[in-house]
Amino acid sequence: MEEKARNILLTKEQISNRINEIGKQITNNYEGKKLYILSILRGSFIFTADLVREIKCPLKVGFMTTSSYGNSETSSGLVKIINDIPDNIKGYDVLIVDDITDTGITMDFTINHVKSLGVSSVKCCVLLDKPDRRKVNLKPDFCCFKIPDVFVAGYGLNYGDYYRNVPYVFNWE
Ligand code: IMP
Ligand code: MG
């Protein structure tokens, strides 16, 4: 497959160093709490796998699959649950983990869904934040990198169902 040149925004090393730092912050925040990591599929599977290994307090991990209607580069504004949370999370301190907050609609929807389940607290952690495109009032509690308004792929993020396995974050020049 022919492809335009790739521009690497975040290298493997940059990502892993930053996840190490964020992992320490999360560990400090959740010491003595009932931490439940809720990973939003599919985009956050790689980030979650690396992040949880940098969190040094007891935790449970669960996955939820959401989808915004349509299959374009931008969110449609409607979120549907494809697979719901597999556990009873009542009383837990939930940390939602996603690959990126763009418009913020997916995260806002997920936060409200989790809040309705009687949890003790809910915060969110994202690998990437594109604050320029926000459509709801949302600031991630833990964010590894802020990026400009460019479409990126790699490290779990897809373009047309591909590139999730690329170990760095890139865009096309
Ligand atoms: P939001 O609901 O607009 O915040 O979008 C969140 C979802 O859109 C993410 O979980 C991603 O799956 C997808 N998304 C947003 N921006 C990008 C991007 O630059 N590359 C790949 N996926 C993206
Ligand atoms: Mg996606």
Kindly report the CATH number assigned to the domain that includes residue 107. 3.40.50.2020
Residues 93-148: tens digit of each pLDDT? 999 999 999 999 999 999 999 999 999 999 999 999 999 999 999 999 999 999 99
Q: What is the pTM of this model?
A: 0.95
Provide the residue range defining the domain that includes 37.
Answer: 6-172
Task: Over range 64-74, report the average pLDDT.
Answer: 74
Q: How confident is the model at residue 3 (pLDDT cuts 50, 70, 90)?
A: confident
Residues 71-91: tens digit of each pLDDT? 555 566 789 999 999 999 999
Q: Are 126 and 142 in contact (CB under 8 A)?
A: yes
Residue 1 lies in a domain: no
Residue 159 lies in a domain: yes
Residue 54 DSSP SS3 = coil
State whether the Cα torsion 73-78-83-86 is positive or negative: positive
| Residue type (1 letter), 31 | E
Please tell me the distance between residue 74's alpha carbon and the centre of ligand 1 in angstroms: 7
Q: Please state the atom number of ligand 1 nearest to the C-alpha of residue 40.
A: 10
Minimal CA–CA distance to 142: which of 10, 53, 20? 20
